Structure formats: C-alpha cells, structure tokens
Amino acid sequence: MYILFSRSETPIAPENQEIMDLVDLSIPPPPWFTEEDLATYGALSFDEDFNITEPVIKVPALLIMDDKDYVFKIPSMEDYIKSRKVKEFVPDLDVIYLPEGTRFVQEQSPDEVDQLILTFLNASI
C-alpha cells in the first residue's frame, strides 16, 4: 500500500477493482524506505479511526509537503491549502513546500525536514 501513495500521481482503481488490486508486491520499497520502516508505519496506521471533537487546532502547526503531492489532485485540495482556507481550522499554520519530493518528504529529505522542524519548534517554544 505504501508504494501506491509514495508517488506524485494519485492511485485510482478502475471500475470493478479495489485500490488494493493496484498493489504489486514484486515492486520493492524505495531505497530510503526499509522493511523495518514499513513494519513500523503499518503498526502505527493500523487503527486510524478516530473522531475529532474540536475542529480548530489552536497551537502553532507545521505542514511540510511537496508541490507535486498527489493530495493536490483531490478536487479542491490544492485551492484549500494554497489559498490559505485551511487557516480557518489551523490559524497558526506554516506551510513549507519542498522541491523534488512526493507524499513522503520526511523519508526522502530527512535532514532538511529535521532542520525545518527544529527551526519551527525553536520559534514556537
């Protein structure tokens, strides 16, 4: 499943197929993503069903992403983030775009992401 969402294009299953039908288990993970990483992420994302009781985030927040992230192919999502409409729900949000990444910029550019997070935390504390 990770392989599907680590690209810049949106995986879309054709009619009469499910998203999991697109998974080709013969394709190895990218070199920067180990089998151990996959096991860890799988365990963390196993139970993602939760309810949001407070829709406004009232603390400083940082979103690091790529301009080519497949999420921008979801209708209205690019406008929602880039027009700053997202600030209605996350008023103190900083959005930083990294070039040459995909959905998992933290895996592809760990040093740069680490530095951005440290800078953000130092400014927010």
Residues in the chain: 125
The rounded distance, in Å, linking the Cα atoms of 49 and 108 is 27
Q: What is the pLDDT of residue 109?
A: 87
The rounded distance, in Å, linking the Cα atoms of 1 and 4 is 5
The rounded distance, in Å, linking the Cα atoms of 57 and 59 is 6
pLDDT digits (tens, 9 = 90+) for 22-35: 777 777 777 777 77
Is CATH 3.40.50.1820 the classification given to domain 2-124? yes
Q: What is the pLDDT of residue 6?
A: 60
In this structure, the dihedral spanned by the alpha carbons of residues 106, 1, 79 and 60, taken in order and rounded to 10 degrees, is -40
Q: Which segments in the chain show pLDDT lower than 50?
A: none
